[in-house]
C-alpha cells in the first residue's frame, strides 16, 4: 500500500499535440493518501477514464510521472504495479467456479495454499458470496458477477490501489444502492486505497471521502462531498452536483456589488482579484419566494413529491428555485430572495468571492 502521486501529468492521444485542445488530460498534479476512498467524477469524455488507465498502467502518459509511494511507476506494466481494477462490465472467467475465480490472481502469484484458502473465505464472507463458492461463475446474476470481479481484486493483500471504472453500469437500478453501500463498507474493512470513476454524483459522493471533479481534461475541484455541494469552486461543479444544479446567472459588477437584471444582490463576501466575465452562482435550495425582493414571473411548477421545483423568469433570465412546502401558481408574479451567504460571484467560471468570517 502506498500514497499515490501524480506529477505534471498530461496526456494526448495524438502523436504530435500542438495546442491545449489536443490534450485529453491537461496538467494534473495531485496526491492521494494511503488508504483513502477517492472518486473521479465528470461527464463522458472529461478524461476520467484516461486518468484511470494511466494510473493502472494500461496507458503511458505523454508527459509527467506517476508515483506509488517513493517508486516511479510511470513505465511499469499493470501487473508490476500491484493494482486491482473492476471494469464497467463484469469480467469473470466463465469456465471457472466462483472459488477458482477468486483464487486465480493468488495462484498466479505463487501464494501458498493455506493463505489462499484463508483469504478467499474471508473475502467471500465479506462479499456475501460464500454459498456460491462452488458454483460456475458463468451462471451468476450481473450483480453477483460484479461482486466476484471486485473479489478478485480484494483477495490480494499486496494491492497498492483498487480501481473501479463505473462498476454499477450493468446493475439493476434497485440493487445499485446495495452495492454502493457494500463498496463503502468494503473500503472501511480492507483499508486499501480505492479510486472510483463515475459520471453519477450519488455513486461518487456516497463512496468517496474526497471527490475529484473533472471537466474537459481539467480537474475543476477536489473536495469532500460537503465542500462540493456547499461551496463549489467552479460553476461546472455547482451545475454538475445537485439536482437541479446551481443557477448560473449573468451579472454586472459595480465595485464590490453584483447587479443582476438591474437589482443589487448581496454576496457572501468581498470579491477576490480574479478577472473575467462575472456570473452569480446560487443553488435553487437557497432561493425563496418572499413578499419583497426580486420581482419574477413563475413559468412552471413541478410537484416532485417532497418539494416543489419552481421555474421563474427575472427580467430576461430564467432560474430555478426549490420550495419545501408551498408553491405559487404557474403564471403568477412573485418576489424572490437569494440567501446572501450562499450567493457567490464566479468569473470565467471560477469562484471570485470570499466568505465573510
Partner 1 sequence: MIELQDVTKRVGTVTHIKPTNLKLEAGHFNVLLGATGAGKTSLIKLMAGLDPMASGRILMDGKDVTRLNTQKRRISLVHQFFVNYPHMSVFENIASPLRVARLPESEIQGRVEEAADLLQLRPMLNRKPNELSGGQQQRTALARAIAKESQAVFLDEPLANLDYKLREELREQLPELFAGRGAVVVYATSEPEEALMLGGYTGLMDDGVVTQFGKTSEIYRHPSNLTAARVFSDPPINAAEVTKAGTEAKLQTGVRWTLDGKAAALPDGSYTVAVRPHRVLPKRSNKHEVELRGQVLVTELSGSDSSAHFRLGDVDWVSLSSGVHPYKVGEDHAFFMDPTHCRYFGTDGTRVA
Partner 2 sequence: MRTENQKAWFFVLPVLFLVAFNALLPMMTVVNYSVQETFGNNQFFWEGLDWFEQILRSERFQAALGRQFLFTGIILAIEVPLGIIIALSMPRKGFWVPVCLVLMALPMLIPWNVVGAMWNIFALPKIGMLGYFMNDVLGIHYDMTQDPLAAWITIIVMDVWHWTSLVVLLCYAGLVSIPDAYYQAAKIDAASPWSVFRYIQLPKIKTVLTIAILLRFMDSFNIYTEPFVLTGGGPGNSTTLLSIDLVKIALGQFDLGPAAAMSLIYFAITLAVSWVFYVVMTKDDQ
Least distance (Å) between residue 302 CB and partner 1: 6
**256 is in the binding site of which of partner 1, partner 2, none (Cβ under 5 to 8 A by kind)?**
none
Least distance (Å) between residue 153 CB and partner 2: 8
Which grid coordinates are listed for 227?
Answer: 465542500
**58 is in the binding site of which of partner 1, partner 2, none (Cβ under 5 to 8 A by kind)?**
partner 2
Conformation bin of residue 166: beta by default, left when phi > 0, alpha when psi is -120 to 50: left
Least distance (Å) between residue 85 CB and partner 2: 5
**108 is in the binding site of which of partner 2, partner 1, none (Cβ under 5 to 8 A by kind)?**
partner 2
Least distance (Å) between residue 253 CB and partner 1: 29
Asked if 241 interacts with partner 1 (CB under 8 A), we say yes
**109 is in the binding site of which of partner 1, partner 2, none (Cβ under 5 to 8 A by kind)?**
partner 2
Least distance (Å) between residue 174 CB and partner 2: 21
Select the residue interacting with partner 1 from 15, 19, 110, 173 (CB under 8 A).
173
Q: How far is CA 223 from CA 40, 46, 82, 281, in A?
A: 11, 18, 27, 18
Beta strands in 172-217 (DSSP E): 193-198, 210-215
**199 is in the binding site of which of partner 1, partner 2, none (Cβ under 5 to 8 A by kind)?**
partner 1
Residue list 111-140, contact with partner 1 (CB under 8 A): none
Bond before 244 cis per omega within 30 degrees: yes
Nearer to partner 1, 41 or 116 (CB): 41
Strands 344-347 and 278-282, by their bridges, are antiparallel
Which grid coordinates are listed for 91?
Answer: 469480467
Q: Binders of partner 1: how many residues, by CB under 8 A?
A: 40
Direct distance between the N- and C-terminal alpha carbons of the chain, in angstroms, rounded to an integer: 40
Nearer to partner 1, 172 or 354 (CB): 172
Nearer to partner 2, 21 or 94 (CB): 94
Least distance (Å) between residue 48 CB and partner 1: 12
Q: Which of 105-109's residues contact partners 24+ apart within 8 Å by CB, and which partners?
A: 105/152, 105/153, 105/155, 105/156, 106/155, 106/156, 109/156, 109/158
Select the residue interacting with partner 1 from 240, 260, 338, 346 (CB under 8 A).
240
CB atoms within 10 A of CB 29: 11
Chain contacts with partner 2 (rule: CB under 8 A) = 56, 58, 77-79, 83-85, 87-89, 91, 93-96, 104-105, 108-109, 149, 152-153
Nearer to partner 2, 45 or 139 (CB): 139
Q: How far is CA 325 from CA 212, 247, 289, in A?
A: 34, 21, 11
- Measuring CA to CA, which residue among 164, 209, 170, 177 is closest to residue 48? 164
CB atoms within 10 A of CB 203: 23
The residue range among 20-28, 50-58, 113-121, 202-210 that interacts with partner 1, by the rule CB under 8 A, is 202-210
Q: Based on the number of CB atoms within 10 Å of its own CB, is 234 exposed (0-12), middle (13-18) or buried (19 or more)?
A: buried
CA-to-CA distance for 7 and 3, rounded, in angstroms? Answer: 13
Residues of the chain by 3-state class (helix, strand, coil), percent to 5: 30, 35, 40
Select the residue interacting with partner 1 from 243, 266, 332, 333 (CB under 8 A).
243
The residues of the shown chain that bind partner 1, judged by CB under 8 A, are 43-45, 172-174, 177, 180-181, 184-185, 188, 199-202, 205-206, 224-226, 228-230, 239-245, 285, 302-307, 309, 324
Amino acid at each position: 500500500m502506498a500514497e499515490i502521486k501524480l506529477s505534471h501529468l498530461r496526456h494526448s492521444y495524438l502523436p504530435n499535440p500542438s495546442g491545449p485542445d489536443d490534450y485529453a488530460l491537461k496538467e494534473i498534479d495531485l496526491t492521494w493518501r494511503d488508504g483513502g476512498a477517492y472518486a473521479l467524477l465528470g461527464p463522458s469524455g472529461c478524461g476520467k477514464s484516461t486518468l484511470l488507465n494511466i494510473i493502472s498502467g494500461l496507458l503511458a502518459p505523454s508527459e509527467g510521472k506517476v508515483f506509488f509511494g517513493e517508486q516511479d511507476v510511470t513505465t511499469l506494466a499493470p501487473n508490476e504495479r500491484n493494482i486491482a481494477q473492476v471494469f464497467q462490465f463484469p469480467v469473470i472467467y466463465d469456465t471457472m467456479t466462483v472459488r477458482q475465480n477468486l483464487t486465480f490472481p493468488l495462484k498466479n502469484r505463487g501464494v501458498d495454499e493455506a493463505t489462499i484458502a484463508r483469504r478467499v473465505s474471508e473475502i467471500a464472507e465479506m462479499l456475501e458470496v460464500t454459498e456460491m463458492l462452488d458454483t460456475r461463475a458463468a451462471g451468476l446474476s450481473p450483480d453477483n458477477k460484479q461482486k466476484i470481479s471486485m473479489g478478485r481484486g480484494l483477495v490480494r493483500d499486496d494491492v497498492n490501489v483498487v480501481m473501479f471504472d463505473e462498476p454499477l453500469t450493468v446493475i439493476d437500478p434497485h440493487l445499485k444502492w446495495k452495492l454502493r453501500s457494500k463498496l463503502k463498507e468494503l473500503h472501511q474493512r480492507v483499508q486499501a486505497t480505492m479510486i472510483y470513476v463515475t459520471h453519477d454524483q450519488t455513486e461518487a459522493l456516497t463512496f468517496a471521502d474526497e471527490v475529484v471533479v473533472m471537466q474537459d481534461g481539467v480537474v475543476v475541484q477536489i473536495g469532500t462531498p460537503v465542500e462540493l455541494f456547499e461551496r463549489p469552486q467552479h460553476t461546472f461543479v455547482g451545475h454538475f452536483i445537485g439536482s437541479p444544479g446551481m443557477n448560473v446567472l449573468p451579472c454586472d459588477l459595480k465595485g464590490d456589488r453584483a447587479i443582476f437584471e438591474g437589482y443589487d444582490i448581496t454576496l457572501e463576501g468581498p470579491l477576490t482579484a480574479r478577472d473575467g466575465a462575472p456570473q452569480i452562482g446560487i443553488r435553487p435550495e437557497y432561493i425563496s419566494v418572499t413578499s419583497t425582493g426580486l420581482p419574477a414571473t413563475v413559468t412552471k411548477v413541478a410537484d416532485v413529491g417532497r418539494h416543489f421545483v419552481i421555474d421563474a423568469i427575472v427580467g430576461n433570465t430564467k432560474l430555478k428555485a426549490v420550495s419545501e412546502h408551498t408553491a405559487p401558481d404557474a403564471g403568477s408574479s412573485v418576489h424572490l430572495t437569494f440567501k446572501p451567504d450562499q450567493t457567490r460571484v464566479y468569473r470565467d467560471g471560477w469562484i471570485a468571492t470570499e466568505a465573510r468570517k
